[in-house]
Structure 1
Amino acid sequence: MSHVVFENVSKRYVLYARPIDKLKEVLFGKVSGKPFYALKNVSFSVEQGEIVGVVGINGSGKSTLSHLLANVTPPTYGRVTLGGKSALIAISSGLNNQLTGRDNIELKGLMMGLTKKQIQAITPDILEFADIGDFIDQPVKTYSSGMRARLGFAISININPDILIIDEALSVGDQTFTEKCLDKMREFRDQGKTIFFVSHSLNQVKSFCTKILWLEYGEVRMFGPTAETMAEYNKYLYWYKQLTKKQATHYVTKKRTGRSDEIERSTRGETIELSS
């Protein structure tokens, strides 16, 4: 049985010209926003123990996919099935800015179903891995992006999830910490855990991942073995970089607006399944 399955998954948001337009829609039912699909009819399955790299240029839906994998947000249409507990490591996700680092450890642990005794038991390992010193007792809002990534990574790996989602968390911080994180990810891989690695570092993705999921403006362009998919993605990047600004804008508009009605017709009524 597959460990992670996406079946015709779409995520739709509504964009409003002014904040008051959203309030009017809630109060009076007058739709004034513009629908925007961050993901459109995404389907794939991943077996337990696979390491999947998620690539795509900015705006392709990578972070939205991460949030669905981590149960942070539900799909608008379609079904997501997760075969275990998942944890997201991202620079801007999962930490409360107003709380101290130590308080965030407890909060995240409780949210993941751990008891206070279990949280106390793993706290020393979290502190050692994060290695941020006295800042652990300071509000997270005072942290640099690198320190946030350190703490977020340390908490998530010590909670010991079945599915680990890493969203650009290794793009900040020093090389020593990056290697430390990669070593831990290899340890997780050897334990048979499933890992999704979202990154613009194609060298890291190519060397670490067994498969690649390539997203292009909310849709799956390709999903397959690393070498084959990366070769096609590199060709695409070379082509895309040759476009003029006008050509790129036209291309993006066409990709974004081509299938909204089709999505709504084909996926309306689908059930949502989130299992652990």
Structure 2
Amino acid sequence: MEKSVVVKNVSKKYKMYTKNSEKILDLISPKGYGKTFYALNDISFEANKGDVVGIIGVNGSGKSTLSNIIAGIIPPTSGTVETHGEAALIAIQSGLKKELTGRENIELKCLMLGFNKSQIKELTPQIIEFADIGDFIDQPVKTYSSGMKSRLGFAISIHIDPDILVIDEALSVGDQTFADKCLDKMNEFKEKGKTIFFISHSISQMKKFCEKALWIQYGHVEQYGLMEEVMPEYEKFIKAYKKMTKQEKKALANKVKKSRMIKS
């Protein structure tokens, strides 16, 4: 099988400060200052062309950080990401300029991706029709609801026809009719052999749409494989987690936080 995405030993870390003065100390101190938080730690996996991978994990595990790295929005701190083809991220506000109108955002995004004026002129009506946000298309994006931002972002990304599609909770807002329309479009991409990464809290959507599952657990890969093998293990974890008391959940959160932070 031909590889489309190869992630090797990827880590992403951020400095944590409790006050502004610590930022200055970090800059002037030879060894740095403060604590470092690992959003991702030594992540490795591969995806083939035509793979549809559901990225699962509890909140705060690093799913969105990983999706941004795959799409090339942010760089990893260490490790490498190799992608074969154009990647596009669909998230609620990804890539949208708040001061510009929806129509202007369409033109800007297409220009940035190398489309010429005639191509943009041809694509724009299709994108507007799919987004279906009415007269808001000519209003600044800052006036949009989360659902409208998601609609526009999805419409732009699918019509630029990327080779790798990364969808981060973009179907979690808005109405079911639009979500169904998006899933239909994603199935078209699936049939064309494109690679899709799908992040959603809807386990039923995952089971219905994805063939593989990548379980990210507190910054590292817990399990990666076929959906029917990984999802049952994840569901067991979620079931056990929900049975925990508030004190047990807090203790677990503190333990995880401590394991993901190091002193400079």
Tell me if TM exceeds 0.5.
yes
Aligned-residue Cα RMSD (Å) equals: 1.7
Q: Please tell me whether the aligned partners of residues 91 and 149 of structure 1 are also in contact (alpha carbons under 8 angstroms).
A: yes
Equivalences for residues 1-276 of structure 1 within 5 A:
1-26=2-27, 31-258=32-259
**1:99 corresponds to which letter in structure 2?**
L
Give me the whole-angstrom Cα distance separating, in 1, the residues matched to 2:217 and 2:45: 15
Verify the 8 A CA contact 2:38 2:260 in the aligned structure 1: no
Q: 1:26 offset after TM fit, Å?
A: 3.5
Residue correspondences, number: 262
Q: For the Cα contact (< 8 Å) 1:89–1:169, is it kept in 2?
A: yes
Q: CA deviation at 1:259?
A: 6.5
User: What SS does the aligned partner of 1:3 have?
Assistant: strand
Deviation at 1:250, TM superposition (A): 2.5
Q: C-alpha distance in 1, partners of 2:146/2:24?
A: 33
- Report the Cα offset of residue 241 of structure 1: 1.1
Q: What code does the residue aligned with 2:222 have?
A: R
Range 85-94 or range 198-207, more displaced: 85-94
Rounded Cα–Cα distance in structure 2 between residues aligned with 1:44 and 1:111 = 29
CA–CA separation in structure 2 for the residues paired with 1:180 and 1:219: 33
Cα drift, residue 31 of structure 1: 2.9
Contact 1:37 1:256 (C-alpha < 8 Å) held by counterparts:
no
* CA deviation profile, 1:75-105 (whole Å, cap 9, x unmatched): 0011110111000000132111111101111
1:89, 1:156 within 8 Å by CA — same for their partners in 2? Answer: yes
Percentage of pairs with the same residue: 56
C-alpha displacement of 1:24: 4.5
CA shift digits 1:105-136 (9 cap, x unpaired): 11111222322332222111101100111111
Deviation of the 1:44 alpha carbon: 0.4
Relative to the length of structure 1, the TM-score reads 0.90
Where 2:50 maps in the other structure, the secondary structure is coil
Which deviates more from structure 2 when the two are superposed, residues 118-127 or residues 62-71? 118-127
TM-score (norm 2): 0.94
The Cα of 1:19 is off from its aligned counterpart by: 3.4
Whichever residue aligns with residue 83 of structure 1, its letter is: H
Partner deviation per Cα, 1:51-88 (whole Å, 9 max, x = no partner): 00011110010100110011000000111101110000
Give the counterpart letter for 1:134 in structure 2.
D
Deviations 1:195-234 (A, max 9, x none): 0000000000010001000111111111111111111110
CA distance in 1, matches of 2:102, 2:24: 35
Structure 2 counterpart of 1:273 = none
1:270 aligns with none
